[in-house]
Amino acid sequence: MSGNGRRYALSGMSARAMSVFARPLLGPYADHGDLVAVVDPDRDRVAEFDDRLAWYAPGDFDRMVADARPDTLLVAGPDHTHAEAIMAGVRHGLRVICEKPMVTTAADAARVLAQAAPGQVRVAHNLRYAPRHRLIKRLLDEGAIGRVLGVELVWNVETLHGASYFRRWNRRAELSGGLQVHKSCHHFDLVGWWLGDVPRQVFASGSRAYFGADSPHNPGAALPVSAQRDRCPYGRRWQEEGAELPELRGHQYDGPERYIYDAEIDIEDNYAALVRYRGGAHLSYSIQFSAPWEGYRLGINGTHGRIETSLEYGRQSGPEGLPVVLYPMFGERRDIEVDGEDGGHLGADGPLVRELFTEDGAGLADAAEAAWAVALGEGVRRSSLTGAAVDVEALLTTACDAK
């Protein structure tokens, strides 16, 4: 038995589950807890990862709890499986740690808030743990730019990374909530954490410009499939990088890899949003999923100054490791260097895992914070589809008053 006696069950043997939950528990953090069971539809996948692990099918959750006696449930399956896994853990009184997004709809977020005990469910929004983002949080909390008036955030997802979402289950809104939930909840949680505030209203616009049957990069259905793939610019990028996404193959969640120009794709691949927050600040946000480089441009305006930073990586990126720049309104510019960004997700994964297994994850997003990120993502998608502003608060039930 490990030092602190924690007993972990894992729901969903995804690639993220392996890297953030399973491998640390079986390796460097083995003294801080035991991985006592895995719930996943694919027994072979679990055995291939580690044949010593006790496997249970999703329908055997109750038996798993009785047999393995976990006290903590780690949830990391595909997004659409999160709600039921979380609620199963809540019913059994387990502590629940979930990969982002917590769920895919505001309705499910409200259901979690209504039924979970305070502090019972936490969500691993890892961008909070990036050294650059923690530095910005400290500056804002210290009042370095006074009261925050607005945030400008432009996020780029490079072609290799962006196209991967359209090869997988993410490309169906019913499974992912759209990338507005699956991906942008990362960014919405980060901004909400920086501001210490929650969104009120959003107006957004979006489209599908790069992927799907109408893509300008689609070689055309008249060609044989092999010729289509040879002429696809994204396919050539994968070949150049040797990227085959092997972790997806054969898994029952994912099925075979799919063609990025399929007609079934029903999510947007670029969108922009203007968000108003309760405290009066606003967010101007945009993202595209087929960009020449990966990273973001950030500006935060306050009554007493401005914070700026950029982060670029990928084949056509500019210089890496750019500083966080503080511009006092009536003072001298300060360039603040950032260390510790070499690890996964801008250096966030290492600190997140360490806190999760050595400090019980006390600093992770709570269920209410995670619910707001989901609700804002849903609001962005609804507004993109309808052309009307969306009341984000109205998407959540009064259970969100717990925040």
Asked if residue 331 and residue 185 are part of one domain, the reply reads: yes
Q: What is the per-residue DSSP string for 185-220?
A: HHHHHHHHHHHT--EEEEEEEEE--SSSTT-TT---
pLDDT of residue 359: 87
Q: Each residue of 140-154: pLDDT tens digit?
A: 999 999 999 999 999
Token pair of 95 as six digits: 């502590």
pLDDT of residue 76: 96
Q: Is the pTM of this model over 0.85?
A: yes
CB neighbour class for 231 (10 Å; exposed up to 12, middle 13-18, buried from 19): middle
CA 74 from centroid of its chain's CA atoms: 15
The b-or-e profile of 258-281 (16+ CB within 10 A means b, else e) is: bbbbeeebebbbbbbbbbbbeeeb
Residue 4: pLDDT band with limits 50, 70, 90 = low
Asked if residue 188 and residue 309 are part of one domain, the reply reads: yes
Asked if residue 375 and residue 277 are part of one domain, the reply reads: yes
Over residues 207-220, the mean pLDDT reads 92
pLDDT of residue 343: 66
pLDDT of 230 above 80: no
Q: Among 14-18, 87-91, 95-99, 379-383, which is the least confidently predicted range? A: 14-18
pLDDT of residue 243: 60
Asked if residue 286 and residue 139 are part of one domain, the reply reads: yes
pLDDT of residue 372: 97
CB 146 within 8 A of CB 120: no
pLDDT of 94 above 60: yes
Over residues 64-82, the mean pLDDT reads 97
**Nearest alpha carbon to residue 326 among 350, 348, 302, 347:** 302
Per the prediction, the chain carries an average pLDDT of 90
Last residue of a domain, one of 98, 124, 150: 124
**Residue 340: which CATH number?**
3.30.360.10
Asked if residue 342 and residue 194 are part of one domain, the reply reads: yes
Q: Each residue of 269-307: pLDDT tens digit?
A: 999 999 999 999 999 999 999 999 999 999 999 999 999
Token pair of 298 as six digits: 């950030």
Q: What angle do CA 204, 207, 212 make, to 5 degrees?
A: 155
Peptide bond into 292 cis (omega under 30): no
Last residue of a domain, one of 124, 153, 169: 124
The b-or-e profile of 365-398 (16+ CB within 10 A means b, else e) is: bbbbbbbbbbbbbbbbbbbbeeeeebebbebbee
Over residues 191-211, the mean pLDDT reads 97
Q: Among 7-21, 112-126, 226-240, 273-287, which is the least confidently predicted range? A: 226-240
Residue 354: pLDDT band with limits 50, 70, 90 = very high
- For residue 303, the tally of other CB atoms under 10 A from its CB is 11
pLDDT of 98 above 60: yes
CB neighbour class for 187 (10 Å; exposed up to 12, middle 13-18, buried from 19): buried
Residues β-bridged to residue 274: 203, 284
pLDDT of residue 402: 45
Q: How far apart are the first and last CA of the chain?
A: 37
Residue 7: pLDDT band with limits 50, 70, 90 = very high
DSSP state of 80: G
pLDDT of residue 238: 76
pLDDT of residue 46: 95
CB 121 within 8 A of CB 145: no
Token pair of 173 as six digits: 């809104």
Q: Name the residue with higher pLDDT: 77 or 361.
A: 77
Q: Among 109-123, 240-254, 284-298, which is the least confidently predicted range? A: 240-254
Coil, helix or strand at residue 340 = coil
> How far is it, in rounded angstroms, from Cα 206 to Cα 271?
4
Last residue of a domain, one of 92, 124, 156: 124
CB 254 within 8 A of CB 80: no
Asked if residue 32 and residue 111 are part of one domain, the reply reads: yes
pLDDT of 358 above 50: yes
pLDDT of 253 above 90: no
Radius of gyration of the chain (CA): 21
Residue 100 exposure: Cα atoms within 13 Å on the Cβ side: 28
Q: Each residue of 46-69: pLDDT tens digit?
A: 999 999 999 999 999 999 999 999
Residue 230 covered by a domain:
no
Helices 367-386, 106-115: crossing angle, 10 deg rounding: 160
pLDDT of residue 239: 76
Residue 227 covered by a domain:
no
Token pair of 367 as six digits: 């269920």
Number of compact structural domains in the chain: 2
Q: Each residue of 166-188: pLDDT tens digit?
A: 988 999 999 999 999 999 999 99
Residue 107 covered by a domain:
yes
> Residue 108 is part of which domain span?
7-124
Asked if residue 169 and residue 90 are part of one domain, the reply reads: no
pLDDT of residue 3: 46
